[in-house]
Amino acid sequence: MQKKTLHGFHAVAARLKRFPDSVLEIYLDAARHDARARDLTQLAQAHGVKVLHVDDKRLSGLTGDARHQGVAALIDAGKSYVTLEDVLDDLTEPAFLLVLDGITDPHNLGACLRVADAMGVHAVIAPKDKSVGLTATVSKVACGAAETVPYVMVTNLARTLRELKDREIWIAGTAADADVDLHHFSGGTGAIAWVLGSEGEGMRRLTREHCDVLVSIPMFGAVESLNASVAAGIVLSETRRQRTLAG
């Protein structure tokens, strides 16, 4: 059993709704009697999950003194495993994916998952090496998106990109030196996987070589780069806009 702890109301509630069988126990601040606490308790009871009322010291011990909002959950992470094939085989519309190459900051990953959820991305893909996993901090920052957007970690990112190409999914990488900018890129209506690298270093060479097209984000101010979550928000929003206009 792959046990781990989640904290925060959004993360715990989202896990209960999507993977109720993976939630082993919920720990709730005994001093909380507000509507949020009552709603979570009712949701847990509906799924047959035990709620334990504990003090703040116990919660802090469970979450490593993180800002837990008065709630934590012990989960079996193995019961929420989803493969990329599972995601792609179930789609009824052109694939819309986000690939993160080298994102190691949990706050950045959490924000990427949150914007991916907001824009309707089908899955977020990352290599197992040089990438952060779904930690409690990631889930907290993602505000529930870590439990709604599949986060698929792959052993070989280059091979995965080739497999996406075989499924006729267009691979669009973001790069400052690209030949086309986002305002003149019209590939968002078809199946697409956006690839983002880490701030500063960008995509790794092999990842870049597997992209079908490189796209730059127009910059009009003094800063020269954006962090991954901001860049993701911009490119994903543009793709969603194009899809909406295309009906």
Distance of alpha carbon 131 from alpha carbon 168, whole angstroms:
26
8 assigned binding-site residue: no
Distance of alpha carbon 39 from alpha carbon 153, whole angstroms:
33
48 assigned binding-site residue: no
> Torsion over CA of 118, 119, 122 and 124, rounded to 10 degrees?
-80
CA proximity to 12, closest of 56, 38, 44: 44
Q: Are 97 and 122 in contact (CB under 8 A)?
A: yes
Q: Are 102 and 197 in contact (CB under 8 A)?
A: yes
> Torsion over CA of 129, 88, 170 and 93, rounded to 10 degrees?
-150
Q: Are 232 and 112 in contact (CB under 8 A)?
A: yes
217 assigned binding-site residue: yes
Q: Which residues are registered as beta bridge partners of 23?
A: 75
Q: Are 137 and 169 in contact (CB under 8 A)?
A: no
The annotation places the binding site for S-adenosyl-L-methionine at: 197, 217, 226
The annotation places the binding site at: 197, 217, 226
